[in-house]
């Protein structure tokens, strides 16, 4: 595989000090050059570090700006691990699609068939919600992550080892309010859906979703830098430190160690640019799923009213301003914001990561690096 790493450069001493030095090609009108310029802008906006990848066919180019550790000031490494947040959802949906292909379940099974009583409170009824509706976010269930008590506890990260049993998270969601729409009626993103999806995986297989993802996806694809932590809040080896900007008067702090049980199958996986690109290419190209399930994966429900975005089963279909349609997703957990976009066959890909997230979006850094990712893809 061909590869090229671009390092951060700048025309000014101030930005050079923030982003580091490198060859004078960051402003070239190429996909990698555009992504590099966006990485530098993200650091200028205040991010500690930004890394990214542009991949077309067998050629991969890497970009980086800023630092991966504010204490040691080591440059942000495009090979470093990071928390991928809700990009985990595609891994979880893939396992359920594989189980369907093995005739062990149907996506049209109700939640209650596999999890009797799990969704049966405050007007919600698991006998009327299907697995498919969990995966495409049309279940009508509230998002437990929007609960004030949960979100404050998570943002403060005072107890990174706190246990969050899946049913506890579901109960937090159900208690928020009564249903505002019937199952299947409208799209509404909720991490609760994927916590329940993980519970279904365990009910069907007898194994935790982390175990199934390890055996079905991580090992077959050789994702050697990808893990699904279930108890350990720390990162190990080569990783980007994650940071949290001031919230409620708190100074910027290293928040690398955070509670992995808070999101589990909805957002706990740790990976790298390369591994995330390998997984998404394998998923989109049909390497992980038979044709019938690949079609289900890519069957979308509308996310907006203008028809430019739809949600499949753990992945998003979106039309970019340049007119091209892409698949992708993003992930936002304490300390990290990442996303990927790719062509329908996975041959064209852009992945980017920022090592700061404080539960509020969009920040200027997210906007600038996100726009750069779009511009980079459109230049491929």
Looking at the annotation, which residues are catalytic?
86
Phi, psi angle pair for 84, to nearest 5°: -90, -5
Yes or no: say if 365 and 18 are a contact pair by the CB < 8 Å rule.
no
Q: Report residue 121 as tokens.
A: 């409170």
Alpha-carbon distances, residue 351 vs 43, 176, 313, 340, 348 (angstroms): 17, 35, 20, 4, 10
Nearest Cα to 297, choosing from 346, 231, 350? 346
Distance CA 64, CA 336 (A): 15
Distance CA 155, CA 108 (A): 35
Residue 255's Cβ-count burial label (10 Å; 0-12, 13-18, 19+) is: buried
Distance CA 296, CA 287 (A): 15
């Amino acid at each position: 595989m061909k590869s090229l790493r671009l390092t951060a450069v700048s025309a000014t001493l101030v930005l050079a000090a923030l982003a580091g030095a490198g060859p004078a090609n960051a402003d070239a009108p190429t996909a990698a050059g555009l992504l590099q310029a966006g990485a530098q802008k993200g650091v200028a906006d205040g991010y500690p570090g930004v890394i990214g990848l542009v991949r077309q066919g067998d050629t991969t180019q890497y970009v980086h700006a800023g630092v991966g550790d504010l204490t040691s000031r080591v440059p942000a490494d495009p090979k470093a691990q990071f928390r991928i947040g809700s990009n985990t959802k595609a891994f979880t949906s893939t396992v359920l699609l594989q189980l369907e292909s093995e005739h062990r379940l149907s996506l049209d099974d109700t939640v209650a068939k596999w999890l009797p009583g799990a969704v049966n409170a405050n007007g919600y009824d698991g006998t009327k919600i299907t697995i498919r509706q969990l995966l495409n976010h049309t279940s009508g269930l509230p998002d437990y992550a929007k609960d004030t008590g949960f979100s404050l506890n998570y943002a403060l990260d005072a107890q990174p080892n706190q246990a969050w049993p899946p049913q506890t998270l579901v109960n937090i969601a159900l208690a928020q309010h009564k249903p505002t729409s019937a199952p299947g009626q409208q799209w509404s993103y909720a991490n609760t859906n994927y916590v329940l999806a993980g519970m279904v995986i365990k009910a069907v297989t007898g194994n935790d979703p982390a175990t199934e993802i390890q055996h079905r996806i991580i090992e077959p694809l050789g994702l050697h830098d990808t893990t699904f932590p279930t108890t350990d809040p720390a990162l190990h080896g080569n990783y980007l430190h994650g940071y949290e900007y001031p919230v409620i008067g708190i100074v910027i702090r290293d928040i690398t160690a955070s509670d992995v049980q808070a999101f589990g199958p909805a957002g706990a996986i740790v990976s790298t640019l390369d591994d995330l690109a390998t997984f998404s290419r394998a998923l989109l190209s049909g390497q992980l799923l038979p044709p019938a399930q690949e079609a289900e994966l890519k069957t979308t429900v509308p996310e907006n009213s203008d028809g430019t975005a739809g949600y499949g089963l753990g992945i998003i279909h979106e039309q970019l301003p340049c007119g091209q349609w892409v698949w992708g997703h993003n992930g936002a957990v304490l300390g990290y914001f990442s996303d990927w976009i790719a062509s329908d066959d996975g041959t064209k890909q852009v992945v980017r990561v920022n090592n700061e997230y404080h539960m509020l979006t969009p920040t200027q850094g997210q906007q600038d690096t996100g726009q750069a990712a779009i511009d980079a893809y459109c230049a491929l």
